[in-house]
Amino acid sequence: MFNSEEHKSLPRSDKTNKCEECGKEFTRSYSLKIHKRIHSGEKPFKCDICGRMFAQKGYLNQHLRMHNGLKAYKCELCGKKFAQKGYLKTHYMIHYGEKPYKCEICGRMFTQYQHLKMHLKIHCGQKSFKCEACGRLFRQNTELKVHLRTHSGEKPFKCKICGTKFTQTSNLKRHLRIHNGETQYKCEECGKEFISLINLQSHLKIHSGEKPFKCTLCGKVFSHAHQLKIHLRIHSGEKPYKCQECGKEFTQSQNLKQHSRSHTGEKPYKCDLCEKSFGYSQNLKKHLIVHSR
């Protein structure tokens, strides 16, 4: 017969299962296996409704409540509802201004421990997530996920007003300021307005002719760092953007996007005079010469 008192007196097993990546120890090998997914980015459990992936089955079950509309936990202050009690508890911290998790290095405060953990990677320089396409490393799996869109050309966030697509929601939000008329920074040279100071500073180089970024291999100079980065691929032969249909590779995501139209048949450039459509802007320009004769 099972003796509960005798069971309580049994010594706990040592944490013999150690993670080779970060040194964290676990009492069970199964717990270590799940933990390793943080470093590898592995998410074997998929939501059949929206395709989102999860590292643990429990997380998937919690996520499914959103699709089922099961939000049993309500905030008494603002009425917002949540699928999990933990989410409601974290939400209350917003109303109370509570940030119980402090970074001992810089003093920054956080409402969630997970946010503190992600923040600490900035100080320690830890980058566990690697892009298989170009080898670049990232601190978070979400950063890697966004980066991968530069290789695939995927832009899932679309402006409902003009149809422009973006790789990140933050870029879409900045773009929407243009439609809302939120242009705070004006160029004194030409009167053009911008939604951020960095965009204005970048634009001013057109007027000044400033080109501070120089290629050490051929001496060519550029106005912006990203222009130099793209140029260097000519010397290195790097082509990080690959077509999933035919395998052809490109130095720029824009070139891949244009090439993809040869597979999809998309023709976004339309002539206003005869309604003929083209896959490339330069073809439309050539066509317009016909009307000008």
Give me the torsion for CA of 90, 91, 94, 100, rounded to 10°: -10
Under a CB-based contact definition with an 8 Å cutoff, are residues 129 and 135 in contact?
no
The whole-angstrom separation of Cα 61 and Cα 52 is 12
Q: Tell me, yes or no, if the pTM score tops 0.75.
A: no
Whole-number pLDDT of residue 7: 43
The whole-angstrom separation of Cα 126 and Cα 89 is 30
pLDDT tens by residue, the chain, 293 residues:
444 444 444 444 455 788 888 888 888 888 888 888 888 888 888 888 788 888 888 888 877 877 776 777 888 888 888 877 878 888 888 788 788 888 888 888 888 787 888 778 777 777 778 888 787 888 778 888 888 887 887 888 888 888 888 888 888 887 887 777 766 778 888 888 877 777 788 888 888 888 888 899 999 998 888 888 889 988 998 888 888 889 898 888 888 888 888 888 888 888 888 888 888 888 888 888 888 77
CA distances from 284 to 56, 112, 261, 280 (A): 51, 52, 15, 7
Whole-number pLDDT of residue 14: 56
Q: What is the pLDDT of residues 219-236, one digit of tens each?
A: 999 888 888 888 998 899
For the chain, which residues make up each domain, given as ranges? 22-124, 129-209, 243-292
Judge if 22-124 and 129-209 fold alike in CATH terms: yes
Does CATH number 3.30.160.60 belong to domain 129-209?
Answer: yes
- Architecture of the CATH domain 22-124: 2-Layer Sandwich (3.30)
CATH superfamily of 243-292: Classic Zinc Finger (3.30.160.60)
